Amino acid sequence: MDFDPSPVQRARCAEIGAAVSERFADHVTSADPESARLAWKDAADIGLTGLCLPEEYGGAGLGALDTALALEAFGRSCPDMGLVFGVAAHLLSCAVPVREFGTEAALGLLSGMAAGELIAGNAMTEDEAGSDISRIRTTATRRGGGYVLDGEKSFVSNAPIADVYVTYAVTDASAGFLGVSAFAVPRELSGVEVGPPLQKAGLQGCLAARVRFDGCEVPAEFMLGEEGSGAAIFQHSMAWERGCLFAGYLGLMERQLEECVNRVKQRRQFGRRIADFQAVSHRIARMRQRLEGARLLLYRACWLLEQGRTDVRAIALSKTAVSEAAVANSLDAMQLFGSAGYLADHGIEQQLRDCLPTTIFSGTTEIQLELIARESGL
């Protein structure tokens, strides 16, 4: 086992961190679609929108672990976790399945996706279907040389600014999991209706909305994989998302911990630094323990994925550890900053709100625990 990043990995992460710090030094999170696209352009110029896409399409051709390391550097240096999340979702839950299962027509979208010129949204979640893909109600009816999509997705990340939606629909209601198919749907097609941006507690830099398909005619060449393979494609994309996306939160936790250490060394009460109180120093120690433990689990999950070994248990362990550590550390950071942490001045309250949904999206913590239990022989 080698726990030391290679010189190439270190150099790449340092370069990304420096570029992100420079580009986003004065960045202000905005819900305005035009401003949001400008932020995406900056991320694309650094190469973040094409990390694991093939070089022939303008990507960097990185594996899962190197992609995770790059996203960790992004999360550490970027103050807008919503943007980090949005870019990672575009890359992992949308571009990856297009890369793996797209026809020639769908693959034609990859160059634009790698360059950040085409932003992608993952349109899977419905009001009655989240982790349970068998409950989706959106249908895709074969007609002529394509499919007609009808249905509504309740939460689509990047939807207000997206140019293409990777979505899932039922093509054969009698076939269960084998009756779901996947599509890459260009927004320009007739019948694609995008609702207003959803109001969220956090991740404000990632605009989200409902998306409705109303008699949307999608050419057959935009189907991903074979008809009926949607569930398998979704699970493949989730392996990459659960494995790599959460590296951005490792970066956030690293930055947060550094801010907390500086705070407790400077803040004085009762004539001494609060860092000298054991209750404070032990809280810092536990924050470090959670971060380092979660990091090891994530690196292992991504390394296995990179070796072609999609280990469901390793990915679920990683996702659970990172998400729970992110929430717990943010609560600790709030306590260490006290009333100052509750104000917007230091960004601690924003970090907490950005971390809260980690135990929900990409499969809830409860779903991950079920996967771990099942893969443990229960």
| DSSP assignments along 185-222, one per residue | EETTSTTEEE-PPPP-SS-TTS-EEEEEEEEEEEEGGG
What amino acid occupies position 370? Answer: E
Whole-angstrom Cα distance, residue 43 to residue 24? 9
Dmax (CA) for the chain in angstroms is 79
Element (H, E) at 157: strand 146-157
Report the distance separating Cα 95 and Cα 97, nearest Å.
Answer: 6
Tell me if residue 241 is catalytic.
yes
Assigned token pair, 144: 């002529």
Type of residue at 377: G
Write down the catalytic residue from 72, 126, 241, 349.
241
Indicate the Cα dihedral angle 103, 106, 111, 115, nearest 10°. Answer: -140
Burial (CB count <10 Å: 0-12, 13-18, 19+), residue 370: middle
Catalytic positions are 241
